[in-house]
Amino acid sequence: MNKKICLLPGDGIGPEIINEAVQTIDAVARRFGHTFSCKTALIGGAAIDAKGVPLPAETLAACKASDAVFLGAVGGPKWDQLDNKSRPEAGLLGIRKELELFANLRPAILFPELAGACLLRPDIVRAGLDIMVVRELTGCVYFGQPRGIETRDGERVGFNTMIYREHEIRRIAKLAFETARLRRKKVCSCDKANVLDVSRLWRDVVSEVHKDFQDVELTHMYADNAAMQLVRDPVQFDVLVTGNLFGDILSDEAAVITGSLGMLPSASLGAKSPGLFEPIHGSAPDIAGQDKANPLAAILSMSMMLRLAFGLEKEADAVENAVRICLKDGYRTGDIMEADKILVGTSKMGELVRERI
């Protein structure tokens, strides 16, 4: 297979972890006989410094000409004074919008070797944790119109519009069911159908789409209950699908209970344009350039790319197994370090993964 990947290292630890992820995919290419051509482009603070904008036109063109986009992280104190539209983060929002990425897939996996880092009681996660949160990314109250702050009857009023069109619900529900088919075949759809009209439509449309996926079990849950169940009994979830607002909160909650920010990958997918793959953590300016960053979230994002963008199941499994074996062999970066384990830096951890592919 021959694929083009656009790399967006960004800021802080972005370039360091991207470097390890790229070497990992090179190892996959050698072992399985593929060719991955990588082209690097500027985004975030690095793009502001070089080009004056967080998302230069040539970066966008390079992304659109690729089969997949791989991002490190953006942002840092150097650019914190800039207004919202000029900040590094605007580059990330811009690329999501331009590539029409309507779905965000975030696995929250607790590797048994890292059970000690989990924030939940051992008896709650004894059976492990493997949840995929599928969040709608381009609709809901974040983008709905009208929105604003106005003065009415002598006082300020703030308002946003929570809105979903049927086709937006249909396409994210379909993706959730397809994702579940490759996993444990369970979808839980989260909404607030007890109080919101938009959620009643959400529930109806998800149930309609389910008719084409009868081999997958569908349940509905109110989002506030889902927030509780994620800490009470997270093992019950396989795929959790929800709108943009609830997904923002529930995906962070699902991730944080694993206790390992440096271990969590993500994928954002659109209908046709290249998908965007990135670790969920930020640019970690406090440890940038010190060979301390955990590269595993980036390496696991690379494996999501192999699986979801290129359909390379065996190759993705090889990367995930290599990460598992590294952990089993006792290697840890500082963020996941425990007593009796072997502390390694960013580049060593990358090398250890490559040796195990």
Partners of 157 in beta bridges: 150
CB of 67 to ligand NAD, least distance (A): 21
In this complex, which beta carbon is closest to ligand NAD, that of residue 120 or of residue 287?
A: 287
92 binds ligand NAD (CB under 6 A): yes
In this complex, which beta carbon is closest to ligand NAD, that of residue 114 or of residue 235?
A: 114
304 binds ligand NAD (CB under 6 A): no
Distance CA 62, CA 58 (A): 6
DSSP 177-240: HHHHHTTTSEEEEEE-TTT-HHHHHHHHHHHHHHTT-TTSEEEEEEHHHHHHHHHH-GGG-SEE
> Would you say 87 and 309 are in contact if contact means Cβ atoms under 8 Å apart?
no
Residue 252 annotated to the active site: yes
> Of 25, 73, 226, 299, which lies in the binding site for ligand NAD, with binding defined by CB under 6 A?
73
Residue 164 annotated to the active site: no
| End-to-end Cα separation, the chain, in angstroms | 18
Which is the catalytic residue, given 26, 67, 130, 248? 248
CB of 108 to ligand NAD, least distance (A): 16
In this complex, which beta carbon is closest to ligand NAD, that of residue 136 or of residue 335?
A: 335
Spell out the SS3 assignment of 118-143: CCCCCCCCCCCEEEEEEEECCCHHHC
How many residues in the shown chain lie near ligand NAD by CB under 6 A?
A: 21
Binding mask 8-27 for ligand NAD (x = CB under 6 A): -----x--------------
235 token code pair: 């093992």
Options 46-54, 130-138, 250-258, 283-291: segment touching ligand NAD (CB under 6 A): 283-291
Using alpha carbons, list the distances in angstroms from residue 234 to 4, 140, 193: 37, 25, 22
CB of 195 to ligand NAD, least distance (A): 31
CB of 93 to ligand NAD, least distance (A): 10
263 token code pair: 């271990």
107 binds ligand NAD (CB under 6 A): no
Which is the catalytic residue, given 252, 291, 341, 348? 252
Distance CA 342, CA 303 (A): 24
Using alpha carbons, list the distances in angstroms from residue 111 to 90, 130, 179, 259: 33, 9, 20, 11
CB of 230 to ligand NAD, least distance (A): 20
Distance CA 337, CA 127 (A): 22
Options 130-138, 159-167, 205-213, 291-299: segment touching ligand NAD (CB under 6 A): 291-299
Which is the catalytic residue, given 3, 192, 292, 331? 192
Which is the catalytic residue, given 26, 51, 130, 142? 142
> Would you say 45 and 75 are in contact if contact means Cβ atoms under 8 Å apart?
yes
> Of 262, 270, 274, 275, which lies in the binding site for ligand NAD, with binding defined by CB under 6 A?
262
Q: Which amino acid is at 149?
A: I
> Of 95, 297, 323, 353, which lies in the binding site for ligand NAD, with binding defined by CB under 6 A?
297
Residue 191 annotated to the active site: no
Residue 248 annotated to the active site: yes
Residue 192 annotated to the active site: yes
Distance CA 175, CA 221 (A): 18
Binding site for ligand NAD (CB under 6 A): 13, 73-76, 89, 92, 261-262, 278, 281-287, 293-294, 297, 335
Residues annotated as part of the active site: 142, 192, 224, 248, 252
